[in-house]
Amino acid sequence: MSVTAARGFEAAGVAAGLKSTGKPDVAVVVNRGPRKAGAAVFTSNRAKANPILWSQTAIGDGVVEAVVLNSGGANCFTGSFGFQTTHQTAEKTAELLGVSAGDVLVCSTGLIGAGDEVFRAKVLAGTEQAIAELSPDGGAAAAEAIMTTDTRPKQAVAAGEGWTVGGMAKGAGMLAPGLATMLVVLTTDADLDAAALDAALRRATRTTFDRLDSDGCMSTNDQVTLLASGASGIQPDPDDFADRLTLVCADLSAQLQQDAEGASHDITIDVVGAVDEDDAVEVGRAVARNNLFKAAIFGNDPNWGRVLAAIGTTSAAFDPYDVDVSFNGVRVCTAGGPDRPREEVDLTPRATGILIDLKRGEHSARILTNDLTHDYVHENSAYSS
């Protein structure tokens, strides 16, 4: 159940000393082929880390031989030195694997603004060590090596008829669309070209990672990469492949939500009755980013007034006095007024469901978020200390 579940892939995760804890912090995933196709989507933040700038160029020809990932340092806003570090990482990987540096993607995660000669030396040494330890059984170690404030590794697998999709992810904070603060590597042994991978990946991320909005903060280092080895020799139906890929992405998204920094509630916001999908997403996103709503959930308070107030900031089509809101299956608001007593709502379970019916159409959308807690504030107030 890992990024090496699909045939044709090897991985490793090693401790290079980037983390003061001594835990693994450099991972490598290699595509052994016979096909070396790849696709990727990146953060939409205009402030992009050096690995993103490199990988956006490298993915251009649709060929990816390997992905190198480090935790313990974002290599972002580290100037030309930082970009050279990324370049040298790709070159070192290429040299050791006998491939082109332009076919190596690089990912980093950790503290922004940190990076020096020691950081570079450790990344390069870790890359060399990881390549020496590559194995078809190395997926679990790789998933552990990309963790930062994560409390556990995230992995998922879905099987098609004779082919497989596997993946790993990291992320626990700065989870907002475009893509969430995460690094994700997805692999498949299906025989698909880069164009097919790109179409399936964009379809899958649109309704999964892009709708994970834990804290409304967008990272500089987000990257989701999909690799195809073609080792199964099977060319699946495009829709079937996209469906399996979406299952893996949805599974990883839920794992990211459930490990969000300091969270005590995992909140699923379902918006129904919208004129179109865009309206449903906009409404769900507005509620997910409303700190008053998130604080109320932390306090186990089914304050539906905060939901309506958040909806009212959107441009979606709805009548504020014709909206229903339910908390964990109890409709506390109907037609813009009180319905069932708040005392009937049990918000003590971690899993929390909010249902919003706009009563204007047939479209819907789901947004994943978390509550706002003391622990979240504490953890992020001391992140760089």
Exposed e or buried b per residue across 355-376, where buried means at least 16 C-beta atoms within 10 angstroms of its C-beta = bbbbebbebbbbbbbbbbbeeb
How many residues are recorded in the chain?
A: 385
Residue 26's nearest CA partner among 135, 97, 124, 113 is: 124
- Residues with Cβ within 8 Å of 249's Cβ and at least 6 positions away in sequence, in order, are 167, 184, 186, 204, 205, 208, 209, 224
H helices of 5-116, in order, are 50-58, 79-97
Distance between CA 376 and CA 370 in Å, rounded?
Answer: 10
> How is the beta sheet containing 183-188 ordered, strand by strand?
37-42, 223-228, 183-188, 164-170, 154-159
Integer Rg of the chain from CA: 21
- List the structure tokens of 44: 């939409």
What is the spatial distance between Cα 20 and Cα 140, in angstroms, rounded to a whole number?
21
Our answer to whether residue 164 is catalytic in this structure is no
3 state SS of 168: strand
In whole angstroms, what is the distance from residue 344 CA to residue 136 CA? 51
Catalytic residue among 181, 208, 225, 352: 181
CA distance 74 to 221: 7
SS3 330: strand
Q: What letter represents residue 309's amino acid?
A: A
Measured CA distances, 255 to 125, 151, 229, 266 (Å): 31, 11, 26, 10
Could you tell me what percentage of the chain is helix, strand and coil, using 3-state DSSP and rounding each to the nearest 5?
35, 25, 40
Catalytic residues: 181
